[in-house]
Amino acid sequence: MNEEFDLDELMDEMAARIEDAVESAVEDQVSDAVINAVQDTLPEVMGECFADFEFVLPNGTIVRPRQYMKLLSPDKTKLLLCYGGLKVDGTTLLVQTRVSSWEAVAVYPSKDEAVEALLKVKSAMDAHQDMLEL
């Protein structure tokens, strides 16, 4: 049995396999590099995009994304990490301490004083302060 051996055909097939392997390896490396770059920079980019974003709910609640400002209560008994949301419920100033969690910072003698405190906190957030004592 003497089969004819075509060297050119064998070389073409090997070249095609090598090209496919190299192309696949390069795609994998580029994909990994792009994914890593996006994962590394996404939080910073999102933070910049939403830095000045806020919206107000019909009940007056101010919602801002992840400010992470520390807020010290007027009586100095509570130090809360403010996630970004603020609201007044009657005469109580509440801050968002987690995505779905609100905690009272202080109860004021009047609703106007509670709203004034809310505006003070909002102003401190706008100024990117790390901490505010009420």
* Residue of 84, 18, 94, 81 lying closest to 50 (CA atoms): 84
Average pLDDT over residues 120-125: 89
113 sits in the region (left: phi over 0; alpha: psi -120 to 50; else beta) called alpha
Per the CB < 8 A criterion, the answer to whether 118 and 88 are in contact is yes
Better-scored residue on pLDDT, 8 or 47: 8
How far is it, in rounded angstroms, from Cα 5 to Cα 18?
A: 21
Better-scored residue on pLDDT, 99 or 25: 25
Residue 117, pLDDT > 90, answer yes
Domain spans in the chain, listed from the N-terminal domain onward: 7-50, 55-133
DSSP state of 99: T
pLDDT score for 60: 73
Global pTM value: 0.51
Reduced to 3 states (helix: H, G, I; strand: E, B; else coil), residue 65 is coil
How far is it, in rounded angstroms, from Cα 50 to Cα 13?
A: 53
Average pLDDT over residues 18-23: 79
Residues linked to residue 93 through DSSP beta bridges, in sequence order: 88, 106
